Amino acid sequence: MPEYKTIQVSVENSVATVTLNRPEIRNAFNEVMLAELIEVFGRLRGDHEVRVVVLTGAGKSFCAGADLVWMKRVISYSYDENLQDSNQISECMHRLYTLPQPTLARVNGAAIGGGMGLVSACDIVIASDKAVFSLSEVKLGLVPACISPYVLKRAGEARCREFFLTGERLTADRALAAGLINRAVPHDDLDRAVGELVEQLLTCGPHAQATCKDLLAKLPEITLEEAKGYTAHVIASLRVSDEGQEGANAFLEKRAPAWRTGGAATGRRGGGAKDS
């Protein structure tokens, strides 16, 4: 991985960790961080050696949303300049959401505004019990527009109506009850909980996981009649794939499949969640 100005990226044992690295301003993002995240998510999409992606923040915060210095510049932008910046936010969220690998948000502290978008675009979210969450855009006369598709998918319309309209700050327990996160753990147990989940994810077939993400993206957009043929095609294709064959044979032979033992790849990973 190249050197980045606002993020750190490390890859170890098939796990890529992407760390938002502006702790002095609570990992608030600007156009530089967004561009770097877009770039690294593009790299990870094509890296078949990376099996899991963990997103976290340096220091005491996960991400405090938009950088105030950047926001001051944006105030003077024209509509076209604002649209270009907004498209960058949308592209960052979409690239994260559509990664073929399982993505895990390790929320070590506050996730505010756009930080909630990064959280919601991940597949699984584990948060410290000290973390706080807020969709605070309305307090600035704005809306959580570019991140709204992902927050809505995660928490549903009823919760989003409340949180979008009030901008209130939520504890980890309230975020858990609302479905915004998957688990809230004691702060000192955060790394252990993340590590255990990563190990569990690595026991599963990577092509199957990517196909699961495709399945979850596709099914809400098609009818039950269309789903019959689509889902039959999905499972038939997996059964005859290299990975499916390896998994079935390993189960019958009572041995670990190749993806758990460091053997050769057993089938090309799919493209992740899709728009249609």
Residues forming the active site: 137
Q: What are phi and psi of 42, to 5 degrees?
A: -65, -40
Instruction: Give the chain's largest Cα–Cα span.
Output: 66
Q: How far apart are CA 275 and CA 28, in angstroms?
A: 28
Do residues 268 and 95 lie in contact, with contact meaning Cβ atoms separated by under 8 Å? no
| Count of C-beta atoms within a 10 Å radius of residue 28 | 24
Do residues 244 and 269 lie in contact, with contact meaning Cβ atoms separated by under 8 Å? no
Q: How far apart are CA 65 and CA 69, in angstroms?
A: 12
CA 68 to chain centre: 24
List the end-to-end C-alpha distance of the chain, in Å, as a whole number. Answer: 31
